[in-house]
Amino acid sequence: MSLETVRKPRQQRGFFVIEAPLGLLDLGMTMSKTSGNKLTSSVFIDGEAGTTGLEIRERLTALETVAVRSIAADRRKDPKARQALMREVDLVILCLPDDAAKEAVRLADELGDDSPRIIDASTAHRVDPNWVFGFPEMTAGHADKVAKARRVSNPGCYPSGGIALIRPLVEAGLMPADYPVTVNAVSGYSGGGKAMIAAHEAGTAPDFELYGLGLSHKHVPELQHYSLLKRRPIFVPSVGNYRQGMLVSLPLHLDTLPGKPKVADLRAALAKHFAGAKLVRVIDGDDAALASGRIEPESLNGSDVMEIRVFGSDGLGQAVLVAKLDNLGKGASGAAVQCMGLMLGLTAQR
């Protein structure tokens, strides 16, 4: 597919349509064309002016089989205008605060048979049993569940990394469900909302800080639930003075795990769990980070890939598992577009 200049929005039936035939790289989506360049699916990003919404919109301009439908800026909070557009599209991606996301779902539900499929990027529905969690690689067969779902909750950035480290060990019997888990993480400031972004860009924020030390971070419920943990994990997030990029780490004492596994056993379990996954990669062999025992958070920025590494010492009986990802990629907008591709039949990838 050749790269072309993005075309300007054109107005249609009171709304705006974005068409831009660019290549989508990381997600590897196959184009399900009907005839010529006819657009086969339409998407409305409700809340497209925020960080995640803008990132999703940028990614969607790369798909020539998707039309992004928008409401004029002065009507974006008009329930009737939003509901009218929901009726006309195939899928809605919600990039809204929790309460606003719940209200948007109510608007969609009122449409009955005309209700579109929904991906919600807020935390409002992440542990709701009526919604499918949007981490296709989470476990065997889960991508199919995402593809068939009417309602998908997009994962949080931190839980994406934490679940990827913990669940494979629980499923493999290497970690009991009641294990006292501690997850530490650091992210760039772009995931912290407008106030945090403004403070860092103005130079008034600290270079580094821990937060969520009341241990009630909003991501803990989904981290526990989808990691299959019976005991609530301790989660300690932090933010650094750089825009984006994330490391999520899981320290382990190997002699406290069933069978006292070796470092290689943990790596093998992770590699087996994610075998065949295109966007979640377990790193082994000749790797600079594994060789040096050092890892930085920014090298995957602009990518929708997650990398998993297992550091450790059999002699000391200790290991640290680390997931690296772009908090705006696999941790947010990239995950939403991946789920959208599955739901609309644009890709069959796991």
Instruction: Render pLDDT for 296-317 as a digit per residue (tens, 0 to 9).
Output: 999 999 999 999 999 999 999 9
- Please give the Cα distance from 208 to 120 (Å, whole number): 30
Other beta carbons within 10 angstroms of residue 68's beta carbon come to 23
Q: Do 339 and 319 lie in a common domain? A: no
298 part of a folded domain: yes
Q: Do 118 and 106 lie in a common domain? A: yes
CATH number at residue 251: 3.30.360.10
Active site residues: 157
**Least confident span in 3-17, 143-157, 189-203, 284-298:** 3-17
Q: What pLDDT is stored for residue 118 in this prediction?
A: 98
Please state the domain count of the chain: 2
CA dihedral 243, 246, 247, 248 (to 10 degrees): 130
Q: Do 68 and 180 lie in a common domain? A: no
Residue 327's nearest CA partner among 206, 237, 212, 207 is 237
CATH number at residue 67: 3.40.50.720
| Contact indicator for 236, 184 with CB cutoff of 8 Å | yes
| Contact indicator for 346, 31 with CB cutoff of 8 Å | yes
Residue 92 has pLDDT above 90, yes or no: yes
pLDDT band for position 19 (50/70/90)?
very low
- Please give the Cα distance from 118 to 79 (Å, whole number): 16
Q: Do 138 and 168 lie in a common domain? A: no
Q: Do 297 and 222 lie in a common domain? A: yes
The answer for residues whose C-beta is within 8 angstroms of residue 285's C-beta and 6 or more apart is: none
State the average pLDDT over residues 143-150. 98
Q: Do 273 and 228 lie in a common domain? A: yes
Q: Residue 253 burial by CB count (10 A; 0-12/13-18/19+): exposed, middle or buried?
A: exposed
Residue 27 has pLDDT above 80, yes or no: no
pTM equals 0.89
**3-state secondary structure string across the chain:** CCCCCCCCCEEECCEEEECCCCCCCCCCCCCCCCCCCCCCEEEEEECCCCHHHHHHHHHHCCCCCEEEEECCHHHCCCHHHHHHHHHHCCEEEECCCHHHHHHHHHHHHCCHHHCCEEEECCCCCCCCCCCEECCCCCCCCHHHHHHHCCEEECCCHHHHHHHHHHHHHHHCCCCCCCCCCEEEEEEEHHHHCHHHHHHHHCCCCCCEEECCCCCCCCCHHHHHHHCCCCCCCEEEEEEECCCCCEEEEEEEEHHHCCCCCCHHHHHHHHHHHCCCCCCEEECCCCCHHHHHCCCCCCCCCCCCCEEEEEEEECCCCEEEEEEEECCCHHHHHHHHHHHHHHHCCCCCCC
Positive or negative, the CA dihedral 101, 106, 111, 114 is positive
127 part of a folded domain: yes
350 part of a folded domain: no
Residue 295 has pLDDT above 90, yes or no: yes
Q: Do 132 and 163 lie in a common domain? A: no
5 part of a folded domain: no
Residue type, 2: S
Q: Do 150 and 162 lie in a common domain? A: no
Residue 48 has pLDDT above 60, yes or no: yes
Positive or negative, the CA dihedral 324, 234, 120, 46 is negative
Q: Do 26 and 141 lie in a common domain? A: yes
Q: What pLDDT is stored for residue 47 in this prediction?
A: 95
Domain of 118?
10-155+332-343
1 part of a folded domain: no
User: Which tokens hold the place of 229?
Assistant: 């943990």
349 part of a folded domain: no
300 part of a folded domain: yes
Residue 11 has pLDDT above 50, yes or no: no
- Summarised one tens digit per residue, pLDDT across range 233-265 is 999 999 999 999 999 999 999 999 999 999 999
- Please give the Cα distance from 186 to 208 (Å, whole number): 9
142 part of a folded domain: yes
| Contact indicator for 253, 192 with CB cutoff of 8 Å | no
Q: Do 135 and 177 lie in a common domain? A: no
Q: Do 49 and 149 lie in a common domain? A: yes
Max Cα–Cα distance, the chain, nearest Å: 68
Residue with tokens 């241990």: 215
Q: Do 163 and 274 lie in a common domain? A: yes
- Please give the Cα distance from 68 to 100 (Å, whole number): 21
